Every structure is written in C-alpha cells, then in structure tokens.
Amino acid sequence: MALNDIIEKKRDSIVEMWLNTLFSTYHPKTAQFLENKRNKFDNPVGSAFKEAIGPLFDEIVGDFDQEKIRQCLDEIIRIRAVQDFIPSQAIGIFVVLKDVVRKVIPSKEMGPEIYEELFIFDAKVDRMALMAFDVYMACRERIWEIKLNDFKKRPIFAEGQMCLSYMLRRGLKHRQKRGEVEQFTDIRPQEN
C-alpha cells in the first residue's frame, strides 16, 4: 500500500494522536481541561488547537498551501509563544508529526517501497517546522515590540520634574501653532 493511502485511511486517528501529543505537552491536569472543556469561550486554547490541527494536517498531505499552513501554525503558536515553553518545546510539537505518522503505519507495510514517500513526507514536515520557527519568532518579536511600545508610552521625567511626555509634545504642538514657542526639540528617540 502506498503511504498516501495509509495516511488517507488513518487520517482521523493521526490527527487525534497528534492533537493528544500536543495536549500532553501540558500538565496532565491542564491537558484534561484543554481536551474536554468544550465551550470555546471557556477554553480558548483547547478550541484553537482542535480547530487548527486538522486543517493543518490536511494541508501538509495535500496542497501544501503555505499561506493556509501559516495561518494554522499561527493559531497554535501565538498561544504557545506566551506560555511556559522554551522555543524547542513550543514548536517541537510540529516535528513530532513524523513519529505520529510512523506509529500508524502497520509494521508489515514498513518497507523500502514506502521509504521514498516517507522521505517526501518528512521533508514536508521539515518545511512546516521551519515555517513554525518563523511564526514563533514573529510572535516573540511582536511581544517585544508591544513591550517596547509600552515602555515608550511611559512618562519620562527629566531634570526639574518636567514631563517630556507625549502630552507635553502634544501641548507644545498647540503652543507652537499659536506662536507662543518657536520650536522644541524632542529628546526622545524618534520613531521612523
């Protein structure tokens, strides 16, 4: 039997096993909650995973539409990027798919005839994993960007408790218009 036929037949159990592996990266107590709590709003994490992992798998064995894959990856990684995972744990779950697929291939089918297909499948998983890395980094960078913006918005006090803040610049804008001040220099690092 060809690998694709096996995968097609076992699609649901592969997806389920993959999903369970994903849940198992959490504390068992949490995993149970993520898996069983069905209300989407009481359990946003579990629901997002459940909704994303099936289409993700279909896309990998199917058309490999990069945009769709990126979207599915984003649903999952955006959450894992802010949780208690080191990077390899956060995206390791995608590499694991190789092992998950091998587990469902009956041992008698395992032979040189499907090695080539398996090789292609693995390569796709690798590509997905690399994309996952990109998505993960984008999320992390986003976090830092938000952090930076947050710090930028904070008041900056200089000598004499003069607030060189956003508000001050705002006020100066008006005073400049009215001709009360000639010009002012913002000492803060400027956004491009």
Partner 1 sequence: MAILVSLGAVLAIVVIALIGAQVGPLQYLLGILVPYAAFAIFIGGFIWRVVYWGKSPVPFRIPTTAGQEYSFPWIKRNRFDNPVKLWEVLVRMFLEVFAFRSLFRHTRAELRGGNLIYGPSKWLWLGALMFHYSFLVIALRHLRFFVQPTPEFVKTIENIDGMLQIGAPHMYLSEVMLLTGLAILLGRRFFAPRIRYISLANDYFPLFLIIAIATTGILMRFLFRVDIVGVKELVLGLASFHPTLPDGIGAMFFIHVLLVSALLAYFPFSKLMHMGGVFMSPTRNLVNNTRMKRHVNPWWTPPKFHTYEEYEEEYRDLMKEAGIPVERE
Partner 2 sequence: MAKELTPQETLRIDLRPPKQDWMDIPVNIKEGIYCYPAKPEKIECVDMPNAHKWSPVEEDWGLPENWKEIFLEGFRERLDKHRTFKIFMDICVRCGACADKCHFFIGSGDPKNMPVVRAELLRSVYRGEFTKAGQILGRLAGARKLTMPVLKEIWYYLFQCTECRRCSLFCPYGIDTAEITILGRELINLFGLNINWIQEPVCNCYNTGNHLGLLPHTFKQNIEFLCDDIEEFVGIKIEPTFNRKGAEILFVTPSGDVFAEPGIYTLMGYLMLFEHIGLDYTWSTYACEGGNFGFFTSLEMAQRLNAKIYHEAERLGVKWILGGECGHMWRVIHQYMNTFQKPVDSLEEPISPITGTKFENAKSLKMVHISEFTADLIKHGKLKLDPSRNDHLKVTYHDSCNPSRGMGMLEEPRYVIKNVCNHFYEMPENTIREETFCCGSGSGLNAGENMELRMRGGLPRANAVKHVHNKYGVNTLACVCAIDRAVLPASMEYWVPGVDVAGVSELVANALIMEGENERSVNLRGEEIPGRAPKEEEAQEDV
Q: Select from 34-42, 45-53, 75-83, 176-184 the region that touches partner 1 (CB under 8 A).
A: 34-42
Closest to partner 2 by CB, 61 vs 96, is 96
Minimum CB separation of residue 39 from partner 1 in Å reads 5
Half-sphere exposure of 188 (CA within 13 A, CB side): 17
Q: Of 42, 63, 109, 186, which lies in the binding site for partner 1, with binding defined by CB under 8 A?
A: 42
The alpha-carbon radius of gyration of the chain (Å, integer) is 25
Quick check: 32 binds partner 1 (CB under 8 A)? yes
- The site for partner 2 (CB under 8 A) is made up of 21, 24-30, 33-34, 37, 39-45, 48, 78-79, 82-84, 89, 92-93, 95-96, 98-99, 102, 139, 142-143, 146-147, 149-151, 153-155, 157, 161, 163, 165-167, 169-174, 176-177
User: What letter would DSSP give residue 191?
Assistant: P
- State the greatest distance between any 2 C-alpha atoms of the chain, in Å, as a whole number: 87
Residues 6+ apart with CB under 8 A from 49: 19, 22, 23, 34, 75, 76, 79
